[in-house]
Structure 1
Amino acid sequence: MKIGCVLVMYNPQQELLTASLDSLNKQVDEIFLGDNSVNMPDFMATLLTLYPNVYYRGFKENLGIAEAQNRGIAYFQEKEFDFVLFMDQDSLAPKNLVISLLADYARLQQTGIAIGGIGPRPFNRSEGKPYVGAVKKGKLILPGITEVGEIISSASLIPMVHFKQIGGMESSLFIDGVDHEWCWRAKKMGGWRFFISEKVQLSHQVGEGDRPFILRKVAIPTPFRTYYQFRNYFRLVHRGYVPLYWKVSNGFKYSIKIFYYPLCVSPRISYMKQILKGIYAGITGK
């Protein structure tokens, strides 16, 4: 059994990327390092000499996470790998990540469940708290295994054979909603189900950090990322296979963010411009 890791990065921090490669190096057979940076980082040539099982692919432009992942999928399809593990530069994999995911994957297989993919429980690195869905929290179906409607791409383990049936990530989404859309599409086309292994946690950070909002803290993205969040919501909301709870809950969130970001988050004008551009692009399909 061969496991490949697709790690997508964009202008990475040397320390964080090194820590990520250190944690993944002995857990997978090969790492596809897809670089969306315009220029290769100065430290990359030296770093690659330390990891002989890393294949570096510099795109010299930002293709978006979806297309970068598709390039990695194609790379491991040609080499006939069995699984792909997706990672990004904002996450740190624990040492027991792959072995734990494979163990729970095997447990699910024994029950005859159609497994679309499995991932760890992500937790907020700055808060030290697990990320749990506000609306859909999932259902514990086996000890330590929770079934969910979708999983984030970072640290998700997916059988390679699924991409032949379902296809790759939707490149036009660029970044936001890419992982969830693929899960929903896989559920519709193949009846695949998705799971979280509670025995392993993923150190993760959403957005540019958490800020207080009313009685809780929320992850704040950059204006650039906010554009894609609003655009992709309007792109996905009309699709029949997208869950109703996601359409309603995110519609509620974005109706608040459209006022909160321009009024309370700097740079306010940039947020307003990107929100309006995102809405326009999402509605018009541009």
Structure 2
Amino acid sequence: MPFAPGAVAFPDVTAIVVTWNPDIAAFRHAWSSYAARTRVLIVDNGSRPEIVAALRELESATCSVIALPTNLGIASAINAGVAHVEQTNPAFYLLLDQDSVFEPDTLPALLEASHALRQSGIGRPVVGPLPVEKESGVMIGMYGSMGLRAGDRQPFATESLYTSGMLVPADLAREAPQKEAFFIDYVDTEWCYRVAKLHGAHTYVVPHAVIRHKVGDTALPLHVRHQPLLVHGPIRQYFQLRNAIWMLACDYIPVRTRWRMALRCLARVSILAACVAPRLTRMRFVGCAMIDGLRGKAGRWRFLPRGAQLGADRPFPH
């Protein structure tokens, strides 16, 4: 059993937190925002030994750590976490990134919304908080969230949710695992469309429940739909574009949505390749992403330049 009996406020919820070489001080701060409320399973994705050792210092009756031998991607880590704690029979899994910070009332608000939606006849609601970028305070956009207003008390039906903070019914998490071929980017988007179409689930944002999260390394002073253009490293751009192209074959996503996502992603990574150093490396990775995406090559990578190292590009956090 991964957990010993221990007192937490919401014992029916197990948080699965995916880490990869986190800043330990920042992670402890994030962890402290939810650790007293729920059981926590930290799934480490191949961090350095000293980082894993520091994470194990957090182990207790209600917090467990499993260390994967290498970085297998966020989707694989979530699936490993679900399998690891399945025997404890939680009612919900709370999915979290390593730097996500909860407001004090976020988890109670998510549980309350999930219960209310079930009471209203929504059979398989998946709820998530309003994700806010830590530094800018800007709401992080999600597909189908036009019209969403921060602070509203009613759950807002949306097409997708952000992975971190997502409260997933345990039976749905087991029935519809994350698609490991995507590795990192668009894992949440693909999953939300898939469970809505094939598993009868419905996704909702709870606007008065807030989670703070860092997205990207920096931002360009160029706003798209009232949001800054976030800058990721070249390898992350590779996954973003390759997976957006790969989703063109996902027939459970509406055709217009698939093409809109792919074209927007191509435009975004092309702007970054033209404007942000190292430009030549970014251009090469964009080309590799298009080749692998069109050839249907999914997984970590297939066509990246020789010597490209995933670990050098901080794939976590988002």
Is the structural similarity TM-score above 0.5? yes
1:233-269 residue CA offsets vs partner (Å, 9 max, x unmatched) = 1111122111334323323323423531222011111
Decide which of 92, 96, 112 is 1:87's aligned counterpart. Answer: 96
The 1-side partners of 2:76 and 2:285 are apart by 22
Corresponding position of 1:225 = 236
The 2-side partners of 1:190 and 1:138 are apart by 26
1:53-97 residue CA offsets vs partner (Å, 9 max, x unmatched) = 221111121100000000001112122111100000131122222
Post-superposition offset of 1:98? 1.4
1:143–1:91 CA distance, 2 compared to 1 (3 A): closer
Decide which of 105, 126, 150 is 2:160's aligned counterpart. Answer: 150
The 2-side partners of 1:49 and 1:139 are apart by 40
The 2-side partners of 1:116 and 1:106 are apart by 9
Corresponding position of 2:306 = none
The 1-side partners of 2:173 and 2:269 are apart by 36
Post-superposition offset of 1:191? 1.7
Corresponding position of 2:273 = 262
Greater mean alpha carbon deviation, residues 3-12 or residues 96-105: 96-105
What amino acid is the match of 1:183? Answer: C
Structure 1 contact 138–147 (Cα < 8 Å) conserved: no
The 1-side partners of 2:281 and 2:129 are apart by 35
Post-superposition offset of 1:148? 0.4
SS at match of 1:86: strand
Greater mean alpha carbon deviation, residues 122-131 or residues 249-258: 249-258
1:278–1:242 CA distance, 2 compared to 1 (3 A): same
Decide which of 51, 71, 76 is 2:80's aligned counterpart. Answer: 71
Post-superposition offset of 1:190? 1.9
Post-superposition offset of 1:46? 4.7
Structure 1 contact 119–197 (Cα < 8 Å) conserved: yes
Structure 1 contact 39–60 (Cα < 8 Å) conserved: no
- Give aligned-pair identity as a percent: 24
SS at match of 1:152: coil
Structure 2 contact 134–212 (Cα < 8 Å) conserved: yes
SS at match of 1:237: helix
Corresponding position of 1:250 = 261
The 2-side partners of 1:163 and 1:47 are apart by 25
SS at match of 1:183: helix
Decide which of 285, 291, 294 is 1:280's aligned counterpart. Answer: 291
Q: CA RMSD in A?
A: 2.1
Q: Count the aligned residue pairs.
A: 282
Corresponding position of 2:302 = none
- Structure 1 length as normaliser, TM-score? 0.91
What amino acid is the match of 2:278? Answer: P
Structure 1 contact 67–171 (Cα < 8 Å) conserved: yes
Unaligned runs of 5+ in 2: 1-10, 298-318
SS at match of 1:24: coil
1:165-188 residue CA offsets vs partner (Å, 9 max, x unmatched) = 3x2001010001111111111111
Q: Does 1:45 align with 2:53?
A: yes
Post-superposition offset of 1:51? 4.3
Post-superposition offset of 1:129? 2.0
Structure 2 contact 153–206 (Cα < 8 Å) conserved: no
1:98–1:133 CA distance, 2 compared to 1 (3 A): closer
Structure 2 contact 75–184 (Cα < 8 Å) conserved: yes
SS at match of 2:288: helix
1:28-55 residue CA offsets vs partner (Å, 9 max, x unmatched) = 1x2111111342334x535533441221
1:139–1:193 CA distance, 2 compared to 1 (3 A): farther
Unaligned runs of 5+ in 1: none
The 1-side partners of 2:143 and 2:195 are apart by 23
